[in-house]
Amino acid sequence: MAEASYDFVVVGGGVVGASIGFGLARRGARVAILDQGDAALRSSRVNFGLVWLQSKGDGMPDYGRWTRRSADLWTGFAAELRELSGIDTEHEQNGGVSFCLGEAEFEQRRNTIQRMHNQVEPWVYETRMIDRKEVEALYPGVRFGPEMVGASFCPHDGVSNPLRLLQSLHGALKTIGVAYRPDAPATAIRRDGAGFAIDTPAGTFRAGKLVLAAGHATTKLAAPLGLEAPIVPERGQLVVTERVAPILPIPASGVRQTRDGTIMIGTTHEAAPDLTTRTTTGNMVHIAERAVQVLPDLARLRIVRSWLGLRVLSPDGFPVYMESETHPGAYVAICHSGNTLAAVHANDLAEAFLAHRLPERLDSFHPRRFHVSQAA
């Protein structure tokens, strides 16, 4: 079969691989993205769509800074994608809230926000607690349940449509000449001179550099190349209501209205001992009940859809980026919050992969943080 050669091969065409591939090609690299077909396990198709800062980075300040950087880049990123693909990602950045039910929850949230602020420069989050009156002012005409005492509010939070984002990325990749190959999943990867050879059912692809961003499949592909991609998959379920007139102008973590009018309610956090995506009603009831406590009128709406997605979660929930020491030029990129980070992946991370060495500011994301010391 014909062999093709590129500056970079990116393995994985979900939102992470597509964003990185886009950024590399925008900077002049010749890029191929190898992917599976539509039957693939793909978190990018099942997520909640938030472009979210306020809860990111507790315990890893660099993740807070990285997420803020992405939030700042998102508007330009969305405009660039729209121009190249003709597809609007429906990005909005009007702030976001995290509702609190009862005083105890409000205090707990206040403490978390304070702790996160104490770990970084004041400009990073700018999240503040707001009382019930201020929440009501953000959602004119909306009736809240009596237990909703307030919320945290971050002006940098926002939302996009995850399906449109993926579609728009893939459209833009085509426009800028990236070879996107959904028929060519990587089956074996080996050193090939100074670069890499990637075997697929559609032939062998050669590249000077390689990025593994294949979601749940990354761990297995990474190991032979001296790369680590520890993933503890987590199930996230959500439910979607029938369409109603616009009532929720600002997204919240756990409830948001789409441009189509449906209301998304989510998401659960459940251990995933296997990678099945079958939904379970019990856990969905909990998230729906909480949403109704916040917004009692939701109880009158019909649920029209529900689904379960598998989070690509590292053991501490923060991203993992690394370059192989044994196979220089081979990189790993896995993360939860691939939508939120899409803009920084297409810019700063792509630049880092193009440079000779990964910059120091990415050190925090190296998986050596999971290595357990053997010293007694």
Ligand X SMILES: Cc1cc2nc3c(=O)[nH]c(=O)nc-3n(C[C@H](O)[C@H](O)[C@H](O)COP(=O)(O)OP(=O)(O)OC[C@H]3O[C@@H](n4cnc5c(N)ncnc54)[C@H](O)[C@@H]3O)c2cc1C
Instruction: Provide the binding-site residues for ligand X, judged by CB under 6 A.
Output: 11-17, 34-36, 40-44, 46-50, 52, 185-186, 213-215, 217, 236, 238, 267, 309-312, 334-340
Query: Cβ of residue 46: shortest distance to ligand X, in angstroms?
Result: 5
- Nearest position to ligand X, beta carbon: 14
| Cβ nearer to ligand X, comparing 339 with 347 | 339
| Cβ nearer to ligand X, comparing 149 with 185 | 185
SS (H, E, C) the chain: CCCEEEEEEEECCCHHHHHHHHHHHHCCCCEEEECCCCCCCCHHHCCCCEECCCCCCCCCHHHHHHHHHHHHHHHHHHHHHHHHHCCCCCCECCCEEEEEECHHHHHHHHHHHHHHHHHCCCCCCCCEEEEHHHHHHHCCCCCCCCCEEEEEEECCCEECCHHHHHHHHHHHHHHCCCEEECCCCCCEEEEECCEEEEEECCEEEEEEEEEECCHHHHHHHHHHHCCCCCCCCEEEEEEEECCCCCCCCCCECCEEECCCCCEEEECCCEECCCCCCCCCHHHHHHHHHHHHHHCHHHHHCCEEEEEEEEECCCCCCCCEEEECCCCCCEEEEECCCCCCCHHHHHHHHHHHHHCCCCCHHHHHHCHHHHCCCCCC
Query: Cβ of residue 372: shortest distance to ligand X, in angstroms?
Result: 25
Query: Cβ of residue 339: shortest distance to ligand X, in angstroms?
Result: 3
| Cβ nearer to ligand X, comparing 152 with 340 | 340
Query: Cβ of residue 139: shortest distance to ligand X, in angstroms?
Result: 19
**Contact (Cβ atoms closer than 8 angstroms) between residue 25 and residue 174:** no
**Which amino acid is residue 324, in one-letter code?**
S
| Cβ nearer to ligand X, comparing 149 with 348 | 348
Which two three-digit tokens encode residue 372? 């357990």
| Cβ nearer to ligand X, comparing 43 with 257 | 43
Any idea what the Cα angle at residue 76 is, between residues 75 and 80, rounded to 5°?
A: 120
| Cβ nearer to ligand X, comparing 151 with 198 | 198
| Cβ nearer to ligand X, comparing 138 with 334 | 334
Which two three-digit tokens encode residue 276? 């099945």
Query: Cβ of residue 191: shortest distance to ligand X, in angstroms?
Result: 18
Query: Cβ of residue 37: shortest distance to ligand X, in angstroms?
Result: 8
| Cβ nearer to ligand X, comparing 295 with 312 | 312
Query: Cβ of residue 376: shortest distance to ligand X, in angstroms?
Result: 38
Query: Cβ of residue 11: shortest distance to ligand X, in angstroms?
Result: 5
Query: Cβ of residue 250: shortest distance to ligand X, in angstroms?
Result: 14
| Cβ nearer to ligand X, comparing 215 with 329 | 215
CA 21/CA 13 separation, integer angstroms? 9
**Contact (Cβ atoms closer than 8 angstroms) between residue 304 and residue 262:** yes
| Cβ nearer to ligand X, comparing 85 with 237 | 237
Query: Cβ of residue 131: shortest distance to ligand X, in angstroms?
Result: 26
Place of tokens 């979607």: 240
For the four alpha carbons of 263, 269, 275 and 278, in that order, the dihedral sign comes to negative
